Amino acid sequence: MIRTSTEIMEILKRRWDKSKDRDEWRVLSGRNPRGRYDIFISSPDRVWQLKVEQVDRDKAFGFGLEVGKPDEEMKKLFSHGAPVPFGLISPHTKNNLAIIMAGIQLYSSDSAYSLCRDFVSEKQAELDERLDREIERMKSDPLLRYKYREQKEREERPYL
């Protein structure tokens, strides 16, 4: 079932709080050809995917789903990539202002793409479609449309 990134973060927070094997949690992310981030979060017994679109310097939104139980092939993909800092802040319910995740992730667009293609391929189009609808809704606000266009221009500029 596809959920908002906020809903996925709530699930992850509850599971993290109950987890006795926190050192076995992993995060793998990469960018897909459309420029969206595919983020996979693995606990010892489950894997979740978030597909996220950056819409401003400090704002992103996305959708996600539970992929299933990690098998050995999935675990191998979670061990490939460059270690980089990871941080994600998600708006939350009235009890908590935000859920903050931080740590070290592995970054590999190839590994993330392999997870998308080999383990959740049938849901990728649906996740992208939900993001496309949300972007179109967001573009109805002139200020958000301007910020989104600025963000896309920033992403296209090469770093020197």
Token reading at 10: 């709530």
Q: Where are the domains of the chain?
A: 3-156
Please spell the DSSP secondary structure of 84-102, one letter per residue: EEEEEEEE--SS-SEEEEE
- Provide the pLDDT confidence category of residue 25 given band limits of 50, 70 and 90: very high
For the four alpha carbons of 129, 35, 119 and 100, in that order, the dihedral sign comes to negative
Q: Does residue 41 register a pLDDT over 90? A: yes
Whether the model clears a pTM of 0.75, i.e. scores above it, the answer is yes
